[in-house]
Amino acid sequence: SNKNIWEWTQNFILILLSTIVFSILLYVGISLALYAIERLFYIDIPSRRYAQLAILIFGIYGVNLFLSQIPKYIILLQVRTYTKAEEIFTKYILTSLTIGYFLIIFVYSAKILITMQWPTGVVAWISVIFSIVAITTYLFWTPLWEEENIKFKRFIWLAVLFQTMMLGLSIWMRIEEYGITESRYFISLFGAWLILMSLYFIFIKNASYKWMFVTLTLLIIGSQFGKYSAMEVSKKDQTRRLQKLIDSSYPISASLDNKTKKDIYSKIDYLYIRHGVDSLKAVIPKIVDKYHDLNSSSKRYFPIFATTQLGLGKISSYNNRYKFFHIDKPREVITTTGYQYFINLNYNNNFTKDLYIDNNLSIKVKNSHIYIIENNSTISNINLNELLKDTNKMIYNYKDSKIKAQILLNSIGISEDNNISNMNGYMLLLKN
């Protein structure tokens, strides 16, 4: 029954949360013990041991603990009665949130019809949040449903169906204008699932919860693999749109209108970040090959290189939110005298990760700062905003009691809040 399925679902969620908490506590406890041994007995424990410990605890212990506690037979679960607190939470908190969100979307829909100003991108996320809250409310009501609640049951799914129409309109307009991305793909898929579930629960009297979970699981799995996966569909659509833009703009020159140049740049930038340089071979093969032929010291941020090669000239502003700077002539020779490390800096704020120099030393770039980390502790903090004061040289020298560094940039992108969005260059480092 639906009551058994809901009881099993609650057990599943509680087991998952408790497993995460227990695993975190165990990892923190053992990590502190290792740290104490390292400090008290002067034993050098490589930082990778902590990563290995995390894999052991979360990947082996945590998974086994989680699987061992999952109830095997749904039908044998005893359906319990809600406590007073759970009943108040369901009837007066979740239900109020659902009604409140629905009224907001309903009034906004009326505003659209009156003003004829079509929805913005934020509507999609409001609709997604509402549908999650509404379905959660419906599930929490499971032990409380009575015959007189039948109208409220249908109201929830009718409300979900209504907001899904708003979601569909909003996401269709975004896709029509900007194309398919992974996030728009998943929102569209979620919208299709919402329509299917809404119709199922509205028209089927004894609708089973199991189909809600089964269909959602199948859609999630299907979206990860094959030619209809989120990655493949978005890649094909953005590639097609880029090809169409280039073909319709022929002959390409710096005299093209700014919007078209920005659109071409944004498509190249998206494909480069999400799928790598080679994903653009289908559209600009000669430029990709030319980029591969460059030596590492001559390479710039690929989207800037590609738009320059296409003849678009310098695009100094992207979407009025970013400014880009790059050196006119790539550095052929870099003097490394007086430094221990020569580090290749390739940073994009959408994909940040630590750069490990050796077992104990690493670099992290975040919010216009370069953090030098030794033994999991920050020993130096280089503020790159100093470099932005003079973008003509694209060189910044830094020195403190712990390190000496020289940063040589080939290109840099700056957002409207004056944070670095991406950069490409080198760093020379000496640890005192």
In this predicted structure, the answer to whether residue 58 has a pLDDT above a threshold of 70 is yes
In this predicted structure, the answer to whether residue 196 has a pLDDT above a threshold of 90 is yes
Task: Report CA torsion sign: 396, 399, 400, 402.
Answer: positive
What's the mean pLDDT when you consider all of the chain? 82
Q: Which CB contacts under 8 angstroms, 24+ apart, belong to 109-113?
A: 109/162, 109/166
Q: What is the pLDDT of residue 319?
A: 46
In this predicted structure, the answer to whether residue 123 has a pLDDT above a threshold of 80 is no
Q: How far apart are CA 53 and CA 62, in angstroms?
A: 12
Q: Identify the CA nearest to 373 among candidates 343, 402, 336.
A: 402
DSSP 167-195: HHHHHHHHHHHH---HHHHHHHHHHHHHH
In order of 228, 277, 300, 343, 428, the CA distances from 425 in angstroms are 37, 17, 8, 9, 10
* 108-117, 243-252, 275-284, 379-388 — most confident range: 275-284
Share of the chain above pLDDT 90, in %: 14
Band (90; pLDDT cuts 50, 70, 90)? confident
DSSP3 helix / strand / coil % (the chain, rounded to 5): 60, 15, 25
**Of all helices (H) and strands (E), which one includes residue 268?**
helix 258-275
* Three-state secondary-structure class, residue 420: strand
Who wins on pLDDT, 192 or 5?
192
Residues 67-75, mean pLDDT to the nearest whole number: 75
* Three-state secondary-structure class, residue 205: coil
Within 8 A by CB and 6+ apart from 368, the residues are 383, 384, 385, 388, 418, 419, 420
In this predicted structure, the answer to whether residue 329 has a pLDDT above a threshold of 60 is no
In this predicted structure, the answer to whether residue 75 has a pLDDT above a threshold of 70 is no
Omega of the bond leading into 143 within 30 degrees of 0 (cis): no
Band (350; pLDDT cuts 50, 70, 90)? low
Q: Count of residues for the chain?
A: 432
Band (322; pLDDT cuts 50, 70, 90)? low
Encode pLDDT of 153-176 as tens digits. 888 899 999 889 888 888 888 888
In order of 96, 152, 190, 202, the CA distances from 128 in angstroms are 17, 20, 8, 19
Residues 279-295, mean pLDDT to the nearest whole number: 85
Residue 52 amino acid letter: Q
In this predicted structure, the answer to whether residue 278 has a pLDDT above a threshold of 90 is no
Q: What is the pLDDT of residue 57?
A: 92
Task: Report the DSSP beta bridge partners of residue 403.
Answer: 431
User: What is the pTM (predicted TM-score) of this model?
Assistant: 0.61
In order of 72, 204, 266, 388, 421, the CA distances from 325 in angstroms are 60, 60, 16, 10, 12
DSSP 96-126: HHHHHHHHHHHHHHHHHHHH-----THHHHH
Encode pLDDT of 41-54 as tens digits. 878 888 888 889 99
Within 8 A by CB and 6+ apart from 134, the residues are 98, 101, 102, 156, 159, 160
Do the beta carbons of residue 429 and residue 343 sit within 8 Å? yes
**Burial class (CB within 10 angstroms; exposed 0-12, middle 13-18, buried 19+) of 239:** buried
Count of beta carbons in the 10 Å neighbourhood of residue 66: 17
Between 58-72, 200-214, 276-290, 308-322, the lowest mean confidence (pLDDT) is in 308-322
In this predicted structure, the answer to whether residue 425 has a pLDDT above a threshold of 90 is no
Q: What is the pLDDT of residue 26?
A: 92
Question: Within its chain, how far is the Cα of 115 from the centroid?
Answer: 34
Q: What is the pLDDT of residue 186?
A: 93
Domain ranges within the chain, ordered by starting residue: 2-76, 84-224, 232-320, 341-431
Q: What is the pLDDT of residue 193?
A: 94
Residue 396 amino acid letter: Y
Between 84-88, 111-115, 322-326, the lowest mean confidence (pLDDT) is in 322-326
In this predicted structure, the answer to whether residue 120 has a pLDDT above a threshold of 80 is no
Q: What is the pLDDT of residue 25?
A: 92
- Residue for token digits 């020195």? 399
Residues 328-348, mean pLDDT to the nearest whole number: 77
Who wins on pLDDT, 223 or 424?
223
In this predicted structure, the answer to whether residue 33 has a pLDDT above a threshold of 70 is yes
Q: What is the pLDDT of residue 375?
A: 85
Residues 15-26, mean pLDDT to the nearest whole number: 90
Do the beta carbons of residue 145 and residue 153 sit within 8 Å? yes
In this predicted structure, the answer to whether residue 190 has a pLDDT above a threshold of 90 is yes
